[in-house]
């Protein structure tokens, strides 16, 4: 009879003999078994020692756990302040502020372009009074504050500085982080205001000002998070984020700053998705790569070479369908961030696939971290996965592959030039389309979406913000602020800001003076826009990636026949406008729709970002489209889409069909149908099924698949 050892030896031989490798989207062949042979030449070092692969502190969480943050902000400063104070009392350790899209794009709440955006996806900040209310009762000399802001970074940071002053806190004691990562905006998130060159100048000015005046404050959070949310693989997120960091450091040095004087206050921000071990290895690889980059740039202080990061669990992994599964997903992702060695963490709430979190869902998200810290024993050991054959091998593979991309960026002249050339964005969009095709075909499992689906979805309570009421209250506060200020002094400091923008003065220093004189966020942004201009681009969806995955699929071929039938009947192929209205720049969903429908044979008109409903209606009419696909990701659908339909009807083109897609809660579906929306496609929609619905909406009765394909 064979012994247990003989049986195991035979099983191991069988595993090694089979081709069970998993080709990841990053191009890494993951083996089913790793041994000491795979790590024989690798030395990950010790935690707290260069190159910091195993962590930035020798004691890591055994000395102090990571900081628990919740990224939150909604409607008014008063409502957000109350939410923050409840969370802090319940165990949250730091604040992470979400601003509404009007604020991100540098518009005051009374601007006509932002009627549907005020207070909907974050807190509206128009004046220094809003900022003071936001932090009322929260001592800024004791609380670390993270602010996700890039486009309107100058007025927001100026308001924060002056709010601290008027709370009695000098700038030197302000602690926290401003995101201030504009290259990522041009690549994926699109909440920019100014063109790339002046945007890079703004970053250098902020680094210079904070280095001189705010020694505890992190002047930039170099963000890969939004890259992964836009569809990037973990490898792409890693490589482009490190390349962005290198570019910012070089820009600051070019402005005359000493590298070691500011590098220690640079921080990073990564997404943590569901590929558990890949995410752990990514954070370890990031620390090793940053040490290499900063050494190459000439940093002498080891603190300058130490990558510190905040992480946030994935938003794009959350599902509208069977949403309580999101609690499990977030827990797995939080564990990956912890095992990867993050310095702070935000856990998304279960309902964030469809709305801002409620108090109930935010409590579960926050308690996920508290349970990990307090109940599991995970914080007792430094780098518990260090030495794992698999983790160490995966870390090294990511380092090598990311370095190849970073070197390509440098060969192109740096990340700013690579972004201008467009290839990083194209690479991410191709990865996004490929991922969408794998999910829609069922090759990548999403529990509750394409496998193990519920027959009937249970409704959940969501937070609903009254956009009209919030906007009215903000407009009233703007009026009160302007009525109480010295207009001559305010005008003088705004003029000084314009002149400084034309010259070489530090624009943040000038904006602080504007904040002291009660200039609004929109006025400060506009003063710089007068000099720098406002930047805009048109989406350019990729082609052939989504459709290529369906090349021999029977249902896909049937849909292509349907498109051809419509072409024969109408004398042209069906034409669709993919419209992005409001100030939301997230374009992953819109670009995926454009790519899939374009591959199917539709003529797709990709609308420019940030359109008003009237502009979208005019483009639809001028382009003579059959259908408008309105993409909504920022809770503005109840305002913007009915207005679009009204403009089409007023122009005599009520025949143009309007469908809606994106982050739309089921509770809003009937409201939109009553307004005239003829098709609604929420998060997790299968694009092939959606295309079939659109073809039927356009009058093509699709025959059974068996009749269309031999």
Whether 384 contacts 378, CB under 8 Å:
yes
Q: Write down the catalytic residue from 425, 580, 638, 700.
A: 580
Q: Find, among 583, 473, 359, 363, the residue nearest to 77 by Cα.
A: 473
Q: Write down the catalytic residue from 110, 383, 584, 587.
A: 584
Tell me the three state secondary structure of residue 178: strand
- Rounded Cα distance between 143 and 137, Å, is 11
Query: For the residues of 191-246, what is the DSSP string, one character each?
Result: ---S-HHHHHHHHHHHHHHHHHH-TTEE-EEEE-HHHHHTT--HHHHHHHHHHHHH
Which pair of structure tokens corresponds to residue 41?
């030449």
Q: How many CB atoms lie within 10 A of CB 408?
A: 14
Q: Which helix (H) or strand (E) holds 69?
A: strand 67-72
Asked if 41 is an active-site residue, the reply is: no
Asked if 647 is an active-site residue, the reply is: no
Is 18 buried (19+), middle (13-18) or exposed (0-12) by CB count in 10 A?
exposed
Asked if 291 is an active-site residue, the reply is: no
B/e letters for 329-367, b = 16+ CB within 10 Å, e = fewer, are: bbbbbbbbbbbbbbbbbbbbbbbbbbbbbbeebbbbbbe
Residue with tokens 């939301």: 584
Asked if 580 is an active-site residue, the reply is: yes
Helices H / strands E in the chain, number of each:
29, 16
Asked if 700 is an active-site residue, the reply is: no
Q: Which helix (H) or strand (E) holds 122?
A: none
Tell me the three state secondary structure of residue 137: coil
Sequence length of the chain is: 710
- Rounded Cα distance between 683 and 98, Å, is 21
Query: For the residues of 375-396, what is the DSSP string, one character each?
Result: HS-GGGSSSTTTT-HHHHHHHH
- Rounded Cα distance between 333 and 318, Å, is 11
Asked if 225 is an active-site residue, the reply is: yes
Query: Which residues make Cβ contacts (< 8 Å) with residue 626, sequence separation at least 6?
Result: 574, 575, 576, 656, 657, 698
Is 165 buried (19+), middle (13-18) or exposed (0-12) by CB count in 10 A?
middle
Q: Write down the catalytic residue from 104, 120, 184, 226.
A: 226
Q: What's the gap between Cα 605 and its chain centre?
A: 25
Q: Write down the catalytic residue from 560, 586, 638, 700.
A: 586
Q: Write down the catalytic residue from 225, 248, 390, 535.
A: 225
Q: Supply the DSSP symbol for 447.
A: B
- Rounded Cα distance between 480 and 131, Å, is 15
Which pair of structure tokens corresponds to residue 646?
């009204």
Whether 578 contacts 604, CB under 8 Å:
yes
Residues forming the active site: 71, 225-226, 580, 584, 586
């Amino acid at each position: 009879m064979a012994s247990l050892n003989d049986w195991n030896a035979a099983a191991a031989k069988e595993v090694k003999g089979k081709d069970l490798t998993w080709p990841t989207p990053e191009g890494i062949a993951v083996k089913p078994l790793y041994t000491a042979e795979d790590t024989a030449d690798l030395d990950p070092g010790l935690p707290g020692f260069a190159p910091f692969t195993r962590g930035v502190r020798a004691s890591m969480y055994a000395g102090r756990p990571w900081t628990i943050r919740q990224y939150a902000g909604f409607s008014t400063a008063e409502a957000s302040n109350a939410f923050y104070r409840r969370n802090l009392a319940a165990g949250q350790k730091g604040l992470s502020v979400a601003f509404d899209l009007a604020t991100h794009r540098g518009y005051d709440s009374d601007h006509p372009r932002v009627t549907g955006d005020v207070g909907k996806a974050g807190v509206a900040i128009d004046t220094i009074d809003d900022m003071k209310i936001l932090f009322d009762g929260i001592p800024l000399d004791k609380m670390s504050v993270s602010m996700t802001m890039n486009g309107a970074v100058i007025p927001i940071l100026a308001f924060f500085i002056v709010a601290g002053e008027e709370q009695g806190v000098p700038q030197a004691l302000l602690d926290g982080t401003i995101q201030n990562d504009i290259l990522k905006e041009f690549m994926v998130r699109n909440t920019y205001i100014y063109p790339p060159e002046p945007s890079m100048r703004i970053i250098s000015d902020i680094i210079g000002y904070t280095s001189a005046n705010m020694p505890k404050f992190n002047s930039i959070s170099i963000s890969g998070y939004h890259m992964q949310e836009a569809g990037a693989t973990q490898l792409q997120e890693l490589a482009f984020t490190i390349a962005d960091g290198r570019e910012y450091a070089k820009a600051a040095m070019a402005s005359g700053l000493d590298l070691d004087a500011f590098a220690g206050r640079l921080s990073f921000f990564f997404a943590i998705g569901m590929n558990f071990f890949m995410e752990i290895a990514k954070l370890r690889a990031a620390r090793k790569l940053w040490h290499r980059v900063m050494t190459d740039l000439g940093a002498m202080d080891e603190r300058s070479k130490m990558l510190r990061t905040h992480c946030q669990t994935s938003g794009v992994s959350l599902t509208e369908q069977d949403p309580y599964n999101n609690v499990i997903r977030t827990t797995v992702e939080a564990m990956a961030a912890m095992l990867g060695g993050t310095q702070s963490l935000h856990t998304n709430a279960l309902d964030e696939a469809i709305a801002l979190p409620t108090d109930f869902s935010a409590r579960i998200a926050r308690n996920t971290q508290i349970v990990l810290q307090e109940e599991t024993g995970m914080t007792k050991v430094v780098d518990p996965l260090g030495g794992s054959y698999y983790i160490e091998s995966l870390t090294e593979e990511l380092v090598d592959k990311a370095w190849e991309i970073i070197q390509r960026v440098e060969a192109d002249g740096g990340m700013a030039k690579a972004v201008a050339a467009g290839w990083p964005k194209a690479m991410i969009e191709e990865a996004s389309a490929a991922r969408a095709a794998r999910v829609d075909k069922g090759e990548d499992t999403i529990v509750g979406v394409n496998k193990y689906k519920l027959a009937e979805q249970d409704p959940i309570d969501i937070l609903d913000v009254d956009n009209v009421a919030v906007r009215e209250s903000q407009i009233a506060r703007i009026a009160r602020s302007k009525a109480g200020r010295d207009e001559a002094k305010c005008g003088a400091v705004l003029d000084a800001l314009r002149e400084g923008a034309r010259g070489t003065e530090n624009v943040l220093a000038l904006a602080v003076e504007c904040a002291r004189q009660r200039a609004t966020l929109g006025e400060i942004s506009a003063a710089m826009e007068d000099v720098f201009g406002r930047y805009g681009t048109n989406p350019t969806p990729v082609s052939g990636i989504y459709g290529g995955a369906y090349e021999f699929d029977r249902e896909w071929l049937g849909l292509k026949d349907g498109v051809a039938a419509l072409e024969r009947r109408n004398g042209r192929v069906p034409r669709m406008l993919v419209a992005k209205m409001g100030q939301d720049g997230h374009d992953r969903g819109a670009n995926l729709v454009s790519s899939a429908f374009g591959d199917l044979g539709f003529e797709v008109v990709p609308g420019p970002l940030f359109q008003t409903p009237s502009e979208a209606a005019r483009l639809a009419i001028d382009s003579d489209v059959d259908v408008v696909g309105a993409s909504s990701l920022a809770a503005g659908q109840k305002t913007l889409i009915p207005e679009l339909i009204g403009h089409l009807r007023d122009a005599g083109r009520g025949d143009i069909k309007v469908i809606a897609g994106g982050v739309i809660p089921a509770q809003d579906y009937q409201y939109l149908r009553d307004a005239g929306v003829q098709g609604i496609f929420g998060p997790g929609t299968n694009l092939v099924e959606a295309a079939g619905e659109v073809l039927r909406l356009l009058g093509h009765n699709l025959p059974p698949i068996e009749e269309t394909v031999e």
